Structures are given as C-alpha cells and as structure tokens.
Structure 1
C-alpha cells in the first residue's frame, strides 16, 4: 500500500497512544521515517499493533499538532518536512523527559502553575512584540528605553507594602534567583563576607552566596522565623553583611513571620549594620505585614518574580533597592548582564501593563488553592503546615518514617517530593519532614491520586521508631 512502519511498540507501562507517539518521534529522529514517508492508515496500523483505531488516531493527532506529521485529505498521513527548531515542543519534552518515560510519575518537586488564560495572553503579547519597531531587535538594553517597563513593574507591585517605590529603585532580573544574586553583588564587600540565613531555608540563598565566595551561617528558628537573640549573637560573632529571609512564605516550612518579630529583627539589623534581603517569590495572596523595605527603608532589599503567579518560563523577576541604593543595584546588573533582552522587556511591559493580567494572577491563585485543599483533605490528619495561598505544603513525618526513606518510597509510588535535608545547611540538622509542591500540570484527579499514595505510605510505615 506504499506505507511504512519501522518498529514495534515497547512493553513499558502507560497510555498506548503516548507510547505510539513517542515511537514515531524516535523513528523520525533516528531517520527510520524520513520526510515524506507515508504512515499506515489508522485501521491498518491498529490491526498490525493490536490496538484500537482511536489510539492510533490520537497519536497521529498529537504528532500533527507538533508539526512532525502532516495529514493530507484523501492521501493519508506523512512525515512532515523538518522545521528549524526555533521554539518547539522538543524543549518542553526534554524538560519533562522523566515524566514522559514514566507516564504515571508526578513531580511535586517545584510548584507548577495552571493555565488560566495567561498562555494566550503571552502569545498575543508576543505578536505585538514581533510587530514592534525594528530597533527592538537590533539595540542593546538602555536605562532610558526600559523606563516604561520599570514603571509597569511599579504598577504591578502597587498593592505590595514595600514603602515608597519609584522606577529608579527597580532592576529587572532573569527570575527571582537572578535577583538574589544581583542584590548580593551590590551588597557584599571584602575578601570573605558572611551571609546569614535561616537554619532551614531556600537553597538559592546559600548557592548565590557561595558563588560570590561568601561564608553562609545559619540562624536558629522557631515557629515565627529566626530568633532575634540568635541573630544578634551571630551578627556580633561574624560581622555579617546581609541577612536573607522569606517572612511572608518561608520556604520550605510555609511559616509566616508576624509584624512584631519583623520589627525585632529590624532593630538587630540596624544595630549591626546588616542589610536585609527579602525573597517574596512564593507569596501568592495578599501580604500580611509590611515588607522589610517598608519597615527599614535604608537597609531593606526586596526580590520577587512572576514565576509562581503567572509563569516561570519567561524568567522575569524584580529586585528593589532601599532608599539611596538604586545606583548600586543598577551597577551590579549592568556589569553582570546589561539587562533583559529587548524583546523580553517589551513583552514584560505589555503583560504587566495590562489590568487583565492581575485578574489572571488571581485566577492562578484560586486554581492552585483548589489543589492545596485536595492535599489537605488527604493528609490533614498528619502534622501538616499549609495555606491555600502558598503553593506547597510542609509535612512532618510520623514515627516510623525518616525523610530520606519516605521520599524514596514516594518515588517508588510515582510521586516525587523534596526531603527537608535539601533545605538545610551542609553542617546543619534537618527536621524529619518533606515539602510537597502543588503541580497543576496534572489533573485534579491525578493530583488527588498522588496524595492518596502518600497517605497510604504514612499509614503504613516500615517500622516503628521510638522518639
């Protein structure tokens, strides 16, 4: 019949349409199916492989949408001519290759936001950028050209209690982690500076500090954040330059630092001339207290991004300098990377300048809250810290489980979570706990299934350990 089928399906578990689609992809990549090759008709291939015609049709449809196949009415389905890989699905497939090879696997490593309309908004904005002035694609970034973008950021953050803010205080960064690095570059001085962090904290703090040849010292915590007396003691002992913290949503425990404790921390920082670097990237709801930049305008630095509110794919973040330090922050950014690429800056300006984008951010928040509540319904009988405005949960394990063993057992059930050890300093002690991130890239039913798998493990520990 003039059609070619080069190989059999493998016998791995998972939906047959996905296996068939991946088999065809591999055959195209390996050259077994070249451009113009005609694939077997749906019914013929379904008979040959012993699967339903609907399964074959679904696989063909997926690959046609990806541009790998081309359907011609009355003629059949052919391998499409290869297009230049500017922005294609190969990148996305490589990013999630483990899940593709393990269809029943669900990653709860990092929060994944749902699409509530922001994908279409980004596509439309990209069209506007593409049709913009030619110089957008030919010029270096400049401060004056980016002023409208910074003003859009100020408007985006207008409801955040960060104190007096104007566009000259803002530096655009490549996501929140880049923002932390730029701020530290603006602050740290001397041959071997010291950075203070919470005993259990976001690993990005210490990784940025270590890249800048700084020592990292952990500060003892309680249920409200770092203990002011411990911060004072470390400040005296180390002569630290900066204290890194996440008072609204502590990563990984989800705890919140109330106003009174923040004020005590500010007093310690002022006495010892310590800058306060606040990471606000995980907050999705309204802030519950003024930011450190508002409480201590001369020493408070602030970093946030759109990764948890809209999308992490664009890698857009914001660093805010304290009063009088905007030039220092700009210098660090300009010496490091000049600025965001012109097209990305233009895209950011369009998105953040559109009032509808804040509505989308609230819709993301509401959808992620649904997933959080499903997790709480399954795991709420255990020692769980959660908030439906936070895209992860903190689970303290019951007797009989240790965090390393529990994460391995969870992965054996197809659920990937993070152990508390990943958030502890190298010489620090980690609690017997795990962090469970919300993944809205899977259906609510699939997410609930993952929670039930974790519940079953918690109910059946391998052994009882006395405490």
Structure 2
C-alpha cells in the first residue's frame, strides 16, 4: 500500500476519520499520491489502521465531497483531477451524483434539503446583488439599511400565529443557533443564570447557555414534551430566568405540544417569572397551535430560520422579541456583530420577497416527506415516531440493542445516525433510541438502501437483553 499508509494513525487529537482524511490530503498535496492513484479498498485500509470500515468510508466520502477523490463503482476510489468550478445550473443537477460517489456511506446526522429549484433562485439573486449599488460592498451595516429586509421577513412570517408582529420586532441572525445566543444575551443577568430545558433536547440550547456561563437544568418530559408539573417543581427549587422549548417539532423525539399543554406551560412561566424561548427551526409544515409569543406576549421569544425550508447554507435566522423588548434584542445583536453583512441581508430580502420562494418551500416540504415515508415503510414495524412534515424520525430500539452499540454498528454498515445520548444533558439519562434524519442529497433509492441496512441491524440484535 505504500509508505503513506502507516500501521497506525498519528497521535493527534480528533475523530479518527478526520485523521485519515488529513493524511490523504497531505499525501495529495505533496504528490505522494498523484492524480489517478488508486486508494486502498475501505476494508483493507481499515484493517491496516485497526479502525472500522465506516471510519475509512467517512474519510473517503468527505474527500470525495471536496473533489479530491473520485469513486467509480466496481473499480475503486482514485485521486481526482483538480476541478474547475462550474457556474451554470448543470452543477446543481449533479448534487445526487456527487453525494453518491461513495455508494456505501450515507450520513443521516442532520437533515439535508432537496434542491427543488432554490439553488437557481439564489444564484439569480446573487447576480442581482453583484450588479447592485457599490456602496453595499463598502459601508458598515446600519439599522436603516435593514428596514427592507425586516419587512420581507415579517411578510414571510405573516401566516404564522406569532401575535402582533412589526418589522422592528425582528432581529436578523446568523442562523437559529446565533438567534438563541442573542436571545440569551438579552435575557440573562447575574453571575450564574439558570435555564431550563427538556431532558432530551436540542444540544444547541445547552451550548448557547454555557457560552453565557449559565447553568442548564433538565426537566422531565412526557409524550407532549416538557411536563408542566416538573417545571413548576424545578422553578420552586432553582431561580431560573428562562425555559427553552420546541413545541412544534420537539428535537429529537419529533413530538409536538397541543394547545392545552402550551397554556399549562405559560401558567407556570407566569407564576415563576420565566421567559419562554421557543425554537421553531425544525418546523416545515403548518403550525399546530399558537406560538408562545402569541399565548404569552409579554414573555414569549421566538427563534426560527430558513435552514429547513429553503437552505441552511446562508445561515440566516430570525429572533423575535416579546412585546416591548425589541430594543433589548437589537442591542444584543448590534453589540455582538453589528448585523448581517449587507450583501447577505440583501440576498435575504430578494429571496424571501420573490413570489417563487413560497412555492419552493412547499416543494422542499413535499420532497422531504417522500423520504420520511420511505423510512416509515421500511422501519414502521418498530417503535417509530414520525410525521410527514418533520425531517427526521425517532426510533426506540428493540430489545437487544443499546443506542451506543447500534450507532457504531450502523456506522460500520455505512449509515450514520444520532444516538439519544447526544440530546441528553451530561448528567442525564437517555433512552435506547436514535434519531434518523432525512438526507435528500441522495436519491430515494439510496436512502431506501440505507433504511434497509438499518432494518437488517434491527432484525438481528447481537444479544437479547432482558428488560
């Protein structure tokens, strides 16, 4: 296999697949691996390095996505010819092919949206920006410069039950995660603030809170999400300032909170003076009930983005303050990052104002639901929570499997999924479950093949564990 393949990985820190990928990049850069050179088969290299085949497959997949490698079915993986960027719409039509060059590895870590035409629209908008006012590329962003963007966002959100909404209530953020950070900065005070989250919840809540030096306390859940009685008890014991919830699409379980549950949470929040932070980034369908901002206008903060409806690549999100608190939210954003780059803000305005954008969002929703149905048709015999308008499914594992063991076995089979452990607090307990996200960058056939591989594992647990 040559001298570039040592008997073990270097001792540098980091995931093993990144160490493998870095070693190959270095070999290509210094010409130890020349264009056209064939790489070892996945299993051969994994055996030599004493790692799993899935780890090598992931490294190969990353380098294939970067264009450094090319995979040819039946022949193997080779060092690719350097590619020049292609600037017409043919590139977007190659999306499936690029993702499938490694026909074994499929990442189901996070939702990947189908391209139903939004790439072409984004390019069209970018071309308009390139021909626009030169001052856009020379000046610092200002609040007045964003008036048109905020108006476009308000119109984009106009059909949602958010309560009275004016453009000045909206702050543009770099995606939903940045939106959470800005909201936390607007709410938290004191040396050690406390925030409540559901026992299983989006890890970004915890990470954003830790940046603010906040203590994160988990609250017991039931099938509708956060349990109001447990929230009330926790609020009596700890002087928390806020509670984070995802009532439309609970991440990772995929459940939703009905109106009565939301009213119960509002009652507890008012009783204890809690601010309510609603993360609405995963919803791609119609809302099922009024938002917390509508139900509790004096304390409901709302965070959303276009990451699951149009594209996550632009990192555009929206944070919306409760009544009378928009100035605090704007101040946190302006002190933190001034605002979005002006060309990006203008791109957001053009994109959301275009009459085609809503239909594209509907087409994304429809396409993603096709993948969900494939997952349900393949895995529906197991304990599966799903919804056609949620871009992932939640699978409670059958007897004989533990979530950590299953995710390792799935990776060896070339399918990456998330264990429930990744959504639990550090001192919390997680159920034997996994989250399987939709990857619409691969064809339905390849996605179904990945589901069949998972089905094979579920049907054949390594051992029976009594419960």
Length-normalised TM-score, structure 1: 0.82
Counterpart mapping for 1:376-395 below 5 A? 376-395=376-395
* Rg larger for: 1
Per-residue Cα deviation, 1:322-372 (whole angstroms, up to 9, x for no partner): 000000000000010000000000000000111210100000000000000
Deviation by residue 1:33-76 (Cα, 9 ceiling, x = unmatched): xxxxxxxxxxxxx9xxx979xx99xx77x936659xxxxxxxxx
Task: Provide the C-alpha distance between the structure 2 equivalents of 1:64 and 1:187, rounded to a whole number of angstroms.
Answer: 48
Cα deviation, residue 236, structure 1: 1.2
| Alignment-derived partner of residue 406 in structure 1 | 406
Q: Give matches, 1:104-253, under 5 Å.
A: 104-253=104-253
Following the alignment from structure 2 to structure 1, what is the Cα–Cα distance between the partners of residues 40 and 393? 36
Q: Report what 1:351 is aligned to.
A: 351
Aligned-partner Cα distance in 1 for 2:201–2:282: 13
Q: Given that residues 276 and 299 in structure 2 are in contact (C-alpha distance below 8 angstroms), is that contact kept between their aligned partners in structure 1?
A: yes
1:437 aligned onto 2:437:
yes
Query: Which residue does the alignment assign to 2:320?
Result: 320
Once the two structures are superposed, residues 176-203 of structure 1 have per-residue CA deviations (whole angstroms, 9 ceiling, x without a partner) of: 0000000000000111110000011000
Other-structure match for 1:9: 38
Q: Distance in 1 between matches of 2:153 and 2:351?
A: 10
Instruction: Quote the Cα distance in structure 1 between the aligned partners of 2:428 and 2:363.
Output: 38
**2:103, 2:446 within 8 Å by CA — same for their partners in 1?**
no
1:74 matched residue in structure 2: none
Q: Which residue of 2 aligns with 1:30?
A: none
Kindly tell me: are residues 433 and 346 of structure 1, through their superposed partners in 2, closer, same or farther at Cα, counting changes over 3 Å? Answer: same
Residue of structure 2 equivalent to 1:34: none
Separation in 1 of the partners of 2:269 and 2:331? 24
What is the Cα deviation at residue 9 of structure 1?
A: 2.1
Report if aligned partners of 2:224, 2:261 keep a CA contact under 8 Å in 1.
yes
Report the counterpart of residue 31 of structure 1 in structure 2: none
Query: How far apart, in 2, do the equivalents of 1:66 and 1:358 lie?
Result: 27
Where 1:145 maps in the other structure, the secondary structure is helix
SS state of the match for residue 155, structure 1? Answer: helix
Structure 2 alignment gaps of length 5 or more: 1-33, 44-56
Match of 2:83 among 52, 60, 63: 63
Question: Secondary structure, in 3 states, of the residue corresponding to 1:197?
Answer: strand
**Equivalent pair of 2:242/2:277 in contact (CA under 8 Å):** yes
Q: Any gaps of 5 or more consecutive residues in structure 1?
A: 28-45, 68-88
> What is the RMSD computed on CA atoms of the aligned residues?
2.7
Counterparts of 1:26 and 1:218, CA distance in 2: 44
Whole-Å separation in 1 of the counterparts to 2:309 and 2:84: 32
Q: Identify the residue that residue 342 of structure 1 maps to in structure 2.
A: 342
Q: SS where residue 286 of structure 2 aligns? A: coil
Displacement of 1:10 in angstroms is 2.6
Evaluate the alpha carbon distance shift between residue 210 and residue 6 of structure 1 in structure 2; reply closer, same or farther with a 3 A threshold: closer
State TM-score, norm by structure 2: 0.82
Deviation by residue 1:219-260 (Cα, 9 ceiling, x = unmatched): 011001111111011111111000000000000000110000
- Show CA shifts across 1:421-443 (max 9, x none): 00000111101100000000011
Q: Write the distance in 1 (CA, Å) between the matches of 2:368 and 2:422.
A: 24
Q: For residue 78 of structure 1, what is the aligned residue in structure 2?
A: none
Mapped partners of 1:431, 1:311: distance in 2: 31
**How many angstroms apart in 2 are the aligned matches of 1:153 and 1:7?**
48
Q: 1:117 to 1:396 in 2, by over 3 A?
A: same
Give the equivalent residue in structure 1 for 2:258. Answer: 258
Cα distance in 2, alignment partners of residues 207 and 6 from structure 1:
42
CA deviation string 1:123-157 (max 9, x = no partner): 00000111110110011111111011000000000
1:100/1:168 Cα in 2 relative to 1: closer, same or farther (>3 Å)?
Answer: same
Q: CA, structure 1 residues 449+341, in 2 after alignment: closer, same or farther (shift >3 Å)? A: same
Report if aligned partners of 2:100, 2:442 keep a CA contact under 8 Å in 1.
no
CA 1:377/1:26 → structure 2, altered by over 3 Å: closer, same or farther? closer
